[in-house]
Amino acid sequence: MRSLRLRLIAFAALAIAVALWAAWHAMGLLFEHYTERRMADALVREGNVVAAAVQVDAAGRPTVNSVDLDARFRRRASGLYWEIRAPASIAGSASLAGKFLAEGKAVGKPAGTGWRETEIPGPYEQDLILVERRVSVGGTPVIVRVGEDDEPIDRAGAAFAQEMGMFLLALGAALGLAAWAQVELGLWPLRRVRRELAAMERNPAQRLSEDHPREIHGLVQAINALADARSDDLGRARRRAADLAHALKTPLAALAAQSRVARAAGAIAAADAIDQTLSATAAVLESELARARAAASRVGEGVAATRPAALIEGLFAVLERTDRGMSLVFDADIPADWEIGIDAASFAEIFGNLLDNAARHARRVVRVDAVHDAGRLSFTVDDDGPGIPADQRDGVLRRGVRLDETGAGHGLGLSIVADLVEATGGTIVLGDAPERGLRVTLSWPDTLLTRAEPS
């Protein structure tokens, strides 16, 4: 079970079920004990009445004047019985119909009385709760015994268990809802952390707030420290890339000068080899610098959101002034209120390369569309040019591939675009445009998207 919420709710439900079952069982035992005590107290009262009515004749035979006794004593197998045991004989109530009460083992003694409580098998199959006491009648010791069937206790216990079970089920449902509410409230700070992490993804300069419960304060501090460390590392990497680019300018310029000298001296083959090496080196260097700038655009401080509609319209305006662009139609369908958490420089470099390639190969139309669907932001750049064969599309996106190895004009630009898109957390796919040209599809998570306020 990978859900923390489900784990907590399941454990709470199990604990509630066990506790309620134990409570149901314990209350059943307490109810049974209470009803038995009530029956024993009632039997003691009946026993006192019977003891007061006992008489012993000269032969030592006991008799009982039953006029003031409970009518059930006179009804056969009524469930209520008395028995008098004297040295000479035993007398029993009419309800016994000549049967005798069995001996039993004492299980208790009513408080404050001389009566002893016993459980015995009854004369008519039901068990009895029995109380007995030794008394002296006219100097003759006799034992007075009064018993009653425990079937009423069993019926009352079953009814109590059923009603209590229904109550405890309702209580369990209420406690389950309370446990669910408690879990939801307990997880609320983690949902807040998740929202703040989503905000950090849109704007990596943000940090988690310190206003969190102390139980997760250490986690918040660790996340903030990790974000700071990552920002510092990428800042150092960016500076090192810039230093490397600056350091390489001088030797590259010297090699270019040597190429010109060699060409002027007639060493055309040597000059061509130097130029090819310089071109490949410049391509790799430009690709790595683009990736460094793109990474910084996602995690560096002060990253501002970009409005893609306005930026692409600006790129169209530049391309329309070129010799090739004057003969093309540029069209875009992008929501004007979209803002994306990628800095404008990286976004312009991505679409500048794509639109430049599209304009160089299109016959009449270059089109850009944007769609928000299934948690992704997708941009398509279509042209109606010759396109790129399917078996060469992976090659033009590969890092370090030279221009002359990637087809006419699409290689270096698309390689840099692929690096930039990957570094900003997106994906790039090449396909066929509706007009048989090239379609480039770019997509990013929609967590980068915000809606601009209307101006």
Question: DSSP characters for 46-71?
Answer: HHHHHHHTEEE-TTS-EEE-GGGS-G
How far is it, in rounded angstroms, from Cα 378 to Cα 81? 92
How far is it, in rounded angstroms, from Cα 427 to Cα 444? 7
How far is it, in rounded angstroms, from Cα 115 to Cα 268? 130
Total residues found in the chain within this entry: 455
* pTM of the predicted structure, to 2 decimals: 0.52
CA distances from 27 to 15, 19, 152, 156, 159 (A): 18, 12, 18, 13, 13
Q: Residues of the chain whose pLDDT is less than 50?
A: 110-112, 299-302, 400-411, 453-455
Tokens found for residue 61: 């035979």
Location of structure tokens 């149901």: 24
Which pLDDT score, from 0 to 100, does residue 402 have?
40
Q: Is 366 exposed, middle or buried (0-12, 13-18, 19+ CB in 10 A)?
A: buried
Asked whether the beta carbons of 437 and 421 are under 8 A apart, the reply is: no
Question: Around 9, how many Cα atoms within 13 Å sit in the side-chain half-sphere?
Answer: 16
How far is it, in rounded angstroms, from Cα 355 to Cα 361? 10
Which pLDDT score, from 0 to 100, does residue 67 have?
82
**Among residues 94, 72, 79, which one has the least CA distance to residue 126?**
79
Question: Around 140, how many Cα atoms within 13 Å sit in the side-chain half-sphere?
Answer: 21
Tokens found for residue 296: 């910084």
How far is it, in rounded angstroms, from Cα 290 to Cα 421? 10
How far is it, in rounded angstroms, from Cα 164 to Cα 141? 47
Which pLDDT score, from 0 to 100, does residue 106 have?
56
Question: Around 449, how many Cα atoms within 13 Å sit in the side-chain half-sphere?
Answer: 22
Which pLDDT score, from 0 to 100, does residue 368 have?
95
Which pLDDT score, from 0 to 100, does residue 187 have?
85
Buried (b) or exposed (e) across 127-157, using 16+ Cβ within 10 A? Answer: bbbbbbbebebeebebebbbbbbbeebeeeb
Asked whether the beta carbons of 430 and 390 are under 8 A apart, the reply is: no
The radius of gyration computed from the CA coordinates of the chain, to the nearest angstrom, equals 48
- Quickly list DSSP for 251-314: HHHHHHHHHHHHHHTT-HHHHHHHHHHHHHHHHHHHHHHHHHHHHHHHHSTTPPPB-HHHHHHH
368-427 per-position pLDDT tens digit: 999 998 889 999 999 999 888 888 888 777 654 443 344 434 345 677 788 888 878 889
Q: Is 438 exposed, middle or buried (0-12, 13-18, 19+ CB in 10 A)?
A: buried
Asked whether the beta carbons of 180 and 120 are under 8 A apart, the reply is: no
Which pLDDT score, from 0 to 100, does residue 406 have?
40
Location of structure tokens 């066990």: 18
Identify the three-state secondary structure at position 137: strand
User: Which ranges in 320-369 belong to alpha helices (H)?
Assistant: 344-361
